[in-house]
Structure 1
Amino acid sequence: MARRIGHTESTPEEDPISDDRDLDAFVGDLPAPTIDDVLRARREAEQAPPVVTALPMPEFVRGGIVRYRCLLDCGWFHDENPGLERPGPLLLPADFTAEDLSAAICGASEVRSKAFVMRVEQAIAAHFAVAHPGR
């Protein structure tokens, strides 16, 4: 089975994705998105309502740390290391398809993302309650 790489064709034997032949075969069997699929997804993303959050723009510091500073410049900050979060188990039917796998990965990512935002928002709210009451 061949897969497209740039403008050339190669087989998993010639250019393996990983050392796992089962994984290479599975990935090789996944349908490649067409340009119409990509453009449709882009249009849908552009039309989606914006995500409303109270999170300030973070700083990215060494070691993968994401730092959120107090908007009032009091010196307080909250650090998160999203790289340390372990993904939860993916629940798939026995005869899962690529769409099932994609939906499970996206669903798990959404859960982790919401938990991350909630954690940071709670830390900021707790800081404001203690250091800046009434603001």
Structure 2
Amino acid sequence: MTADTDFDELLAKLPQPSTREVFAEIEAARRAAEARTPHRTIIPEPVLPPLWPHPDSGIVRFPCALGCGWAHEEDTYRMDEDPISLPLSAGSQEIGRIFVERAERRGVVVRGRVEAAIRAHFAEAHDGQEPPEREVW
């Protein structure tokens, strides 16, 4: 037996959802997506880094929305160097909560740093012009 046939056998044993259940799940996801409110940001769409071992791997670039060639760079490898402290008695829910809170704090810091860099760039290179906003979900 191969891993694929083992996996196929396992999938065959699982209960299969009905068409009605699948449709209800898709419909619920659609309604949730429609209910979500968009946010506005001055942070441009990032240029994602190449894969490791490329020398630029881990470097996310946020280019100027006006196309002047400037870009703010964030090194994702150094973004979160603080050690993670987990209680030995922590269950999966508590561990998940700790990681979510950590990610939210880190997101606020990174967004602030990127927005500050963009505002500084516009003040220096595009004097008198505000950074354009874009809608994100």
Aligned-partner residue type, residue 68 of structure 1: F
Aligned counterpart, 2:69: 75
Count of residue correspondences: 104
Q: Gapped runs of 5+ residues in structure 2?
A: 1-5, 11-16, 50-55, 130-137
Change (3 A) 1:53 1:129: same
Normalising to structure 2: TM-score of the pair? 0.59
Cα RMSD after superposing both structures: 3.3
Change (3 A) 1:74 1:109: same
For 1:94 and 1:73, the matched residues in 2 are separated by 50
Identity within the alignment, %:
34
Q: Gapped runs of 5+ residues in structure 1?
A: 9-34
Q: Which residue among 120, 130, 134 is the counterpart of 2:114? A: 120
The farther-off stretch of 107-116 and 81-90 is: 81-90
Tell whether 2:91 aligns with 1:103.
no
Q: Assess if the C-alpha contact under 8 Å between 1:65 and 1:82 holds in 2.
A: yes
Map Cα deviations across residues 45-69 of structure 1 (whole Å, 9 max, x no partner): 6344334321111112431211111
| Secondary structure of the corresponding residue to residue 129 of structure 1 | helix
Tell whether 2:51 aligns with 1:57.
no
Normalising to structure 1: TM-score of the pair? 0.60
Map Cα deviations across residues 3-49 of structure 1 (whole Å, 9 max, x no partner): xx9454xxxxxxxxxxxxxxxxxxxxxxxxxx99xx6xx67963443
| Secondary structure of the corresponding residue to residue 78 of structure 1 | strand
Change (3 A) 1:58 1:43: same
For 2:77 and 2:95, the matched residues in 1 are separated by 22
